[in-house]
Amino acid sequence: MNSFEYMEQAEQDLLHTYNRYGIVLEQGRDVYLFDTNGKKYLDFAAGIAVCALGYSNEEYKAALKEQVDLLLHTSNLYYNPPIIRAAEMVKRASGMDRVFFTNSGAEAIEGAIKAAKKYAYTRDGYAGHEIIAMKGSFHGRTLGALSVTGNQHYREPFEPLLPGVRFAEFNQLDSVKAQVNEKTCAVILETIQGEGGIYPAEQSFIEGVAELCRKKDILLILDEIQCGMGRTGKMFAWQNYNIKPDIMTAAKALGCGVPVGAFLLTERVAEKSLVPGDHGTTYGGNPFVGAAVSTVLEIMERDRITVHVQKIAEYLWKRLDELKDRHSCIVDHRGMGLMQGLALTVPVGEVSKQALEKGLILITAGTDVLRFVPPLIIEEEHVDAMCKILDSILP
């Protein structure tokens, strides 16, 4: 089939929940994608911050092929070596104590919410506890994840959602304090808000929230699904701050394309929360995803990916600042590491569309932000090529 026929077939068969761009991607290599017509695209989206190692990494592919020949699935009624290795490695990378592997980021959020509620139930002996979430946040599309997502546009058609969720202003500590009551069991926030417009947590805010949680035995849940796994120059974005969560979530680049997520807990929380019968998943943590996770972490550690991110992120910041100086339509530049955004006064969707026509893949965040979340292996030459295309598009 040609690309038009592929798209026609997709529109007949797939539920129309995405407004897809008019290309059919067929293969990837390094930091480039290729469509069915053979056109080459420089990728600065990484499958929405998933493909941290780029495309067609030989070591990664070999590990997955080897595991396919050994064993794909066992269920969680039995142990399997790959997921045990993966758990050990993600614990070491994060400094957390316990991990539960899921199939997606949204499922990781669901598990984190359940763990927080069960912790409070075990401590207090009764249910009915509440959660404080952030306005402008995005945590996923399942009903529980939607319940803590601070965007009414996503929430309204599916209400009523999970009760007992209060929303505070991100980066405003007093707003969080005003929402605390005797029922509060957790505060959940993205260390860097992604879909909401690329807003990093301010140091004083996240430290203040962590201290508030510590004093009142409220659990701090940090969503690292997009900003984690080396994207900020640390393995997890919260490691740039002088704090540590009680529960954290990860996904996206955790598997670099293999669908996997996780929520991690400190031992203090784990010993008072989920026990056999409280939570489970048939596919979560099977041998195949275990091989993916452990291989990704091995490559990141050995190749010092976070060090590379720190260096290349500075160069990306410099080049985007230069664009900002040249184009008055760019009104703000924010972010951290290789998770940066440019706020524009012109329609960002149109800019993204024109970039695609010129062989550059860019995605948006919120209503007015161009989002830059490329593979973590990009080099200066790729930044230069991206900026040249963007320079030719922006007014």
Mean pLDDT of 165-183: 98
Residue at which a domain ends, from 255, 279, 302: 302
How far, in Å, CA of 107 to CA of 301, rounded? 26
Least confident of 3-17, 25-39, 330-344, 381-395: 3-17
Amino acid at 128: G
Number of folded domains that form the chain? 2
pTM of the predicted structure, to 2 decimals: 0.97
66-102 residue pLDDT tens? 999 999 999 999 999 999 999 999 999 999 999 999 9
Mean pLDDT of 331-338: 98
Q: Is residue 62 assigned to a domain?
A: no
Among candidate residues 271, 302, 333, the one where a domain is terminated? 302
Mean pLDDT of 287-305: 98
Residue 289 host element (H or E): helix 287-302
- What percent of the residues of the chain are helix, what percent strand, and what percent coil, each to the nearest 5? 45, 20, 40
Confidence band, pLDDT 50/70/90 cuts, at residue 193: very high
At residue 4, the pLDDT reads 87
CATH label of the domain that carries residue 16: 3.90.1150.10
Identify whether the C-beta of residue 207 lies closer than 8 Å to the C-beta of residue 191.
Answer: no
Residues 96 and 47 in one domain: no
Share of the chain above pLDDT 90, in %: 99
DSSP 66-103: HHHHH-S---TTS--HHHHHHHHHHHHHHT-SEEEEES
Which residues face 135 on adjacent strands?
150
pLDDT tens for 246-273 read 999 999 999 999 999 999 999 999 999 9
Domain containing 198: what range? 71-302
Mean pLDDT of 139-167: 97
pLDDT band for position 333 (cuts 50, 70, 90): very high
Whether residue 205 is predicted with pLDDT greater than 90 in this model: the reply is: yes
* Mean pLDDT over the full length of the chain: 97
d(CA 38, CA 58) in angstroms, rounded, equals: 22
> Do 117 and 138 reside in the same domain of the chain?
yes
**Position 63 in a domain:** no
The rounded distance, in Å, linking the Cα atoms of 202 and 336 is 11
Arithmetic mean of pLDDT, 178-205: 98
